[in-house]
Structures are given as structure tokens and as C-alpha cells.
Structure 1
Amino acid sequence: MATVELRFSPLPEHVRTARLVAAAVARRAGVDESVLDELRLAVGEACSRAVGLHQQVGKGGAVRVALIDQEKRFVIEVGDGAGQVGEPAEPAGGSGDGADPAEDALGLAVITGLVEDLEVGQDDDGGLIRMSWPINPA
């Protein structure tokens, strides 16, 4: 099982890089070409959501993307690192400058429509989206 891990500052301009790297690693792992566009879009949505959550809670740190080549599945984990459930949903002072909850729900809906094997949960650092696709036998 090989893993490629990316960590990037929660800035929108880094989302494109994460999408491109995810597609390249998925192709190398043997994910079918016909699903690479959906994979790219799902990674972009998950990373955009993570960036938005960072902006919403006003917390520093990095977005983590793990690209895991398993025997029969290609797994992508996107960790937002924005903190645990129950932490403030808005920056102190309630300025409302962070991510829109409706946009967050829309992003999750898009991901759900693109990925058959999807888990949305938490890890020690915050939210975690885990997606996987089958690998074609060589």
C-alpha cells in the first residue's frame, strides 16, 4: 500500500494543485480513465469545503490530502484540520465572513453524487472525508 500525502495552507489557490496531483496519482494507481473527471471534481469539492471551514472557524493549520493506493481500491482522505465538532462555527465576534453553511451542504451533496464509496466523519484534527474508487487489475 503506497500513500502520497499533501498538506497545504487553507487557501483556494491550492485546491487546483490538489485536484491535479490526485488525478495523476489515481491514474498511476490504475483507476479507470472514465472516472478521473469525477474524482478530480470530488477532490476539488472536498478541498474547497476544507478551505471554507478554515475560513469559517478562523483557525490556522493545514488541509491534508492522503492518496492511498490499496490492493483493490484507491482511497482519498481529505482532512480539514479545522477543529472538532462543537467548536465555534463562526470566528469570534460573529462577523459571518467565513464559509456559508449552505455552500458547505451543497459541496457535500456534489461529492455524494460523484462518489459511491463515501464516508464523512471526524479525525483528531477535525472533519475527514474519505472517498474510494476501484482499481483496474493490471
Structure 2
Amino acid sequence: MATVELRFSALPEHVRTARLVAAAVARRAGVDEAVLDEVRLAVGEACSRAVGLHQSGGLESPVRVSLTEDEKSFSIEVGDDVPVAAPQLVPGARDERSAAVAEPAAEVDMGLAVISGLVDDVEVTADERGGLIRMSWPTTPAAVLP
């Protein structure tokens, strides 16, 4: 199982780099070429959401991205450090962030809706330590040459 980890300052200009790295690692992992645009878009949406939450909450900690390749799938986790009162969220669920993070709920719902529209296997969780969006795609095993 190969893993690439990124940590970047919660600034919008770093989201593009995360998208490019995710697409490169997904390609190397064997994600179908036709799906790479969806990977880029989903990662961009998840990272932009995390950046927005960090900025709204006045946090200086980095956004975390973990890209993991295993035998049959490629997964990406995007984590933020913004605590939430609700123990778990599901795609499309209302994100009940604390009053200190005054992000409009419609923007949060829209970002999660876009991600869940792009990714079949997505899980969104949040607790008092922060939020995590986990996405995965199937991979095509490398062809064995004779």
C-alpha cells in the first residue's frame, strides 16, 4: 500500500497543486484516464471546502491530504481541523459547524453535493477534532507482460 501525504497552508492558491498531485498519483495508481477529471474536481472541491473552513475559523493549521493506493482502489482523504458538534455527517447532510465558523450552510451543502455527484464511494465525517472527506475509485491492475 503506497501513500502520499500533503499538508498545505489553508490558502486557495494551494488547492491547484493538490489537484495536480492527486491526478498524477491517481494515474500512477491505475485509475481509468476517463475518471481523472472527476478525481481532480472532487479533490479541488474537498480542498477548497477545507481551506474555506480553516479561513472562516481563523485556523493556521494546514489542510491534510492523504492519497493511498492499494491493490484494487485509490483513495483520497482531505482533512480539516475545524471542530463540529455533530458526531457524523453524510454526503448532502447539513454541516452544523460551531458559531465560530460562520460558513453559509448552502455553500457547505453545495460542495458536498458536488463531491457526492462526482464520486460513487464517498464518506464525510466530522467530530470535535475536525472533518474528513474520504473518496475512493477503483483501479485497473497493470497488465502483466509475457
Question: Could you say whether these structures have the same fold, taking a TM-score greater than 0.5 normalized by the shorter chain as the test?
Answer: yes
Counterpart CA distance in 2 for 1:133 and 1:79 is 18
**Residues 20-47 of structure 1 deviation map (CA, whole Å, 9 limit, x = unaligned):** 0000000001000000000100000000
Instruction: Report the Cα offset of residue 68 of structure 1.
Output: 0.1
Give 3-state SS (helix, strand or coil) of 2:31's partner.
Answer: coil
Aligned to 2:48: 48
SS in 2 for 1:61: coil
2-structure distance, mates of 1:5, 1:122: 20
Conserved? CA contact 2:79–2:131, under 8 Å? yes
Q: Secondary structure at the match of 2:134?
A: strand
Task: Tell me the equivalent position of 1:14.
Answer: 14
Determine whether 1:73 maps to 2:73.
yes
**Matched residue, 1:90:** 100
Helix, strand or coil at the partner of 1:68: strand
CA contact (8 A) 1:64 1:81 kept: no
Aligned with residue 113 of structure 1, among 107, 112, 117: 117
Q: Which residue of 1 aligns with 2:89?
A: none
Match of 1:102 in 2: 106
Aligned identity (percent) is 70
Paired residue secondary structure (2:47): helix
Tell me the residue number matched to 2:133. 129
Pair 1:30–1:38, CA change in 2 (3 A): same
Q: Which runs of 5+ in 1 are unaligned?
A: 92-97
Q: What whole-Å deviation, never above 9, does each CA across 1:79-100 have from its counterpart, x for those lacking one?
A: 0122x21373335xxxxxx543
Task: Tell me the CA shift for residue 103 of structure 1.
Answer: 1.2
Q: Residues 107 and 11 (structure 1 numbering): CA distance in 2 closer, same or farther, change over 3 Å?
A: same
Report the counterpart of residue 24 of structure 1 in structure 2. 24
Is the deviation greater in 119-128 or in 99-108?
A: 119-128
Letter in 2 for 1:104: V
3-state DSSP of counterpart to 1:88: coil
5+ residue gaps, structure 2: 86-96
Q: TM-score, normalised by structure 2?
A: 0.84
SS at match of 2:66: strand
